[in-house]
Amino acid sequence: DGGITQSPKYLFRKEGQNVTLSCEQNLNHDAMYWYRQDPGQGLRLIYYSQIVNDFQKGDIAEGYSVSREKKESFPLTVTSAQKNPTAFYLCASGLRAGGTYEQYFGPGTRLTVT
């Protein structure tokens, strides 16, 4: 089965703890992305990566970190510095389409921090 997997589906953490969200794709896409979605809001870009060992900050990178050691994997760490981490996190991979990328999303991880 080709696709994007995110785990876990639901994640609960105490305030002050770092937490890592997993994202794996077997679509052989070069680009990968992390978004955050809050109720009533669109998707906001956290980080993205075009190639292995390279990534760029998105619009709301503060309090998050990523790595891209393998083409298939792009884990996101939500650090204790993120002031409001409770949200729905979406990972996507990108297929080159003309001058942009078609993005294909995983099922998401719902993080709750108390």
Partner 1 sequence: QKEVEQDPGPLSVPEGAIVSLNCTYSNSAFQYFMWYRQYSRKGPELLMYTYSSGNKEDGRFTAQVDKSSKYISLFIRDSQPSDSATYLCAMSAAGRRALTFGSGTRLQVQP
Tell me how many degrees the CA angle 22-27-30 measures, rounded to the nearest 5: 80
Q: CA-CA distance, 67 to 44, in Å (whole number)? A: 19
Nearer to partner 1, 13 or 105 (CB): 105
Q: CA-CA distance, 55 to 37, in Å (whole number)? A: 20
Q: Is 42 a residue that touches partner 1 (CB under 8 A)?
A: yes
Q: Which stretch binds partner 1 (CB under 8 A): 11-19, 63-71, 72-80, 102-110?
A: 102-110
Residue ranges in contact with partner 1 by CB under 8 A: 4, 6, 31, 33, 35, 40-43, 45, 48, 50, 56, 58, 88, 90, 92, 94, 97-108, 110
